[in-house]
């Protein structure tokens, strides 16, 4: 690892922090704490982090300063081993459980200097194929930043003192063609910001991560194709949900940029995979690529499934009252996810089967299912709901 690495157009560099810089780092932390308080975040960084912890960061080689004109203007810790508090996560799951990841902690900045956080994230993303980060739900600045940078909300983790944090992850996919990846991130993924809550970017990022993770079991598959199929699979929502899989295939076939990276046969295979992903399809996908994205699209996480069901109902059936949404949720869960539902699985290495058992247990406990629905419905109807 380079100890003094240029990071961005702001002319800043990132290097390992030194022990004699601890007083300056504490000044940066004090300033960042004051910014949190000014923005309504009174719960985070209470008596934390102190000089002892910063010293430990430096001793372990994980403490870094961001330098401008030879002056430290930012600080962050980048953990290079697994974060123990991330072993348990609720209200979701990590995008990927197998790829090595780095964790950003203790990000602090100097007053009046722009680009510090962007520098820290950009530099960290060059070090690992995946980055994880957590923040307090009242830290609106950080929540906005991770959303801006394409991080996906994965759930809630708990600190050593038991306090909850919103958890995020981003996958870098270094095995994917860099120009293709840049095009999709710039032109395709932003489209999902305009779709209904159940088909927004967090869902797409999850399907992409699941697809790439499953593809590790099938080395004969082209990673560029796997990545692209997952990215395009719900683009057809732009014309409505009913035929979105077919529209997604058409969008892929008609994209004038894809021939830069794929042959006509590859584009056709990808378009067919996109068309075949829909859970209600009556026939199996025509290729392994189609089976892979269909399996990844299932994303059997009980709370997420109920939340997406409620989100879709609120978006498409606003005339229903709460009881109407409850009945619609029951009907949808039974038809699609019940023991005799139409949902099919294709990839044996997927974690969907174990997750389905958890969902069945929840569905077969009427009291717990109703309590879960009530909590999610209240969250989704809250005027203060944060859209990640």
Residues 6+ apart with CB under 8 A from 312: 196, 197, 198
Residue 228 shares a structural domain with residue 363: no
Residue 50 shares a structural domain with residue 160: yes
User: Is 220 exposed, middle or buried, given 0-12, 13-18 or 19+ CB atoms closer than 10 A?
Assistant: exposed
Q: Please report which confidence band the pLDDT of residue 387 belongs to, taking 50, 70 and 90 as the band edges.
A: very low
Residue 97 shares a structural domain with residue 206: no
What tokens does 388 get?
Answer: 């990640």
Residue 37 shares a structural domain with residue 69: yes
The span from the CA of 339 to the CA of 332, in Å, is 13
Structural domain of 323: 302-381
Residue 388 resides in a domain: no
Share of the chain above pLDDT 70, in %: 96
Check residue 258 and give its pLDDT. 98
Of 18-22, 173-177, 317-321, 381-385, the poorest mean pLDDT is in 381-385
Residue 158 shares a structural domain with residue 9: yes
273 has pLDDT over 60 = yes
The span from the CA of 173 to the CA of 178, in Å, is 9
> Last residue of some domain: 144, 171, 198?
171
Check residue 125 and give its pLDDT. 97
Chain mean position to CA 346: 24
Q: Please report which confidence band the pLDDT of residue 353 belongs to, taking 50, 70 and 90 as the band edges.
A: confident
- Please say whether the beta carbons of 38 and 164 come within 8 A: no
Average pLDDT over every residue of 208-229 = 96
- pTM for the full predicted model: 0.80
Residue 149 shares a structural domain with residue 287: no
Residue 387 resides in a domain: no
Residue 321 shares a structural domain with residue 359: yes
Residue 210 shares a structural domain with residue 252: yes
Residue 12 shares a structural domain with residue 141: yes
Average pLDDT over every residue of 94-103 = 93
Residue 240 resides in a domain: yes
DSSP bridge pairs for 63: 77
Rg (alpha carbons) of the chain, rounded to whole number: 22
Q: Please report which confidence band the pLDDT of residue 386 belongs to, taking 50, 70 and 90 as the band edges.
A: very low
Residue 288 shares a structural domain with residue 306: no
What tokens does 349 get?
Answer: 């290495």
380 has pLDDT over 80 = yes
Residue 293 resides in a domain: yes
Question: What does the mean pLDDT of the chain come to?
Answer: 92
Residues 6+ apart with CB under 8 A from 84: none
Average pLDDT over every residue of 159-179 = 95
The larger pLDDT score, comparing residue 40 to residue 89, is at: 89
17 has pLDDT over 80 = yes
Residue 197 shares a structural domain with residue 275: yes
> Last residue of some domain: 171, 206, 231?
171
The span from the CA of 41 to the CA of 33, in Å, is 9
Residue 197 shares a structural domain with residue 244: yes
The span from the CA of 137 to the CA of 175, in Å, is 33
68 to 5, 22, 58, 111: CA distances (angstroms)? 12, 17, 20, 13
Widest Cα–Cα separation across the chain: 67
The span from the CA of 121 to the CA of 117, in Å, is 6
Q: How many domains is the chain partitioned into structurally? A: 3
Burial pattern 193-214, b for ≥16 Cβ within 10 A else e, equals eebebbbbbbbbbbbbbbbbbb
Check residue 5 and give its pLDDT. 47
């Amino acid at each position: 690892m380079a100890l003094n690495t240029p990071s961005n157009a702001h002319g800043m560099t990132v290097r390992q922090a030194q022990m004699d810089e601890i007083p300056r780092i504490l000044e940066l932390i004090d300033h960042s704490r004051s910014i949190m308080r000014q923005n309504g975040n009174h719960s985070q960084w209470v008596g934390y982090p102190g000089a002892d912890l910063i010293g430990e960061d430096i001793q372990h080689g994980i403490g870094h300063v961001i330098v401008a004109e030879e002056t430290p203007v930012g600080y962050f810790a980048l953990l290079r081993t697994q974060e123990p508090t991330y072993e348990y996560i609720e209200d979701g799951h990590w995008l990927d459980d197998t790829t090595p990841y780095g964790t950003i902690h203790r990000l602090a900045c100097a007053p009046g200097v722009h680009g510090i956080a962007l520098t820290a994230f950009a530099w960290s993303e060059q070090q690992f194929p995946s980055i994880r980060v957590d923040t307090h739900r009242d830290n609106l600045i950080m929540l906005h930043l991770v959303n801006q940078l394409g991080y996906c909300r994965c759930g809630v983790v708990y600190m050593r003192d038991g306090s909850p944090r919103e958890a995020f992850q981003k996958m870098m996919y270094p095995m994917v063609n860099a120009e293709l990846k840049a095009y999709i991130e710039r032109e395709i993924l932003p489209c999902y910001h305009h779709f209904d809550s159940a088909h927004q970017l967090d869902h797409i990022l999850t399907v992409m991560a699941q697809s790439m993770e499953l593809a590790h079991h099938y080395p004969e598959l082209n990673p560029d194709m796997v990545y692209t199929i997952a990215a395009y699979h719900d683009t057809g929502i732009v014309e409505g949900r009913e035929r979105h899989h077919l529209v997604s295939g058409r969008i892929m076939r008609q994209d004038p940029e894809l021939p830069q990276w794929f042959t006509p046969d590859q584009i056709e295979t990808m378009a067919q995979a996109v068309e075949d992903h829909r859970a209600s399809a009556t026939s199996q996908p025509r290729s392994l690529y189609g089976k892979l994205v269909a399996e990844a699209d299932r994303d059997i996480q009980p709370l997420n499934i109920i939340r997406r069901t409620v989100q879709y109902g609120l978006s498409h059936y606003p005339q229903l009252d709460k009881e109407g949404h409850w009945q619609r949720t029951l009907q949808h869960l039974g038809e699609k996810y019940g023991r005799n539902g139409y949902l099919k699985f294709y990839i044996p290495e997927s974690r969907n089967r174990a997750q389905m058992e958890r969902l069945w247990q929840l569905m077969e406990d009427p009291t717990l299912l109703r309590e879960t629905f009530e909590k999610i419905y209240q969250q989704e109807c809250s005027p203060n709901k944060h859209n990640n």
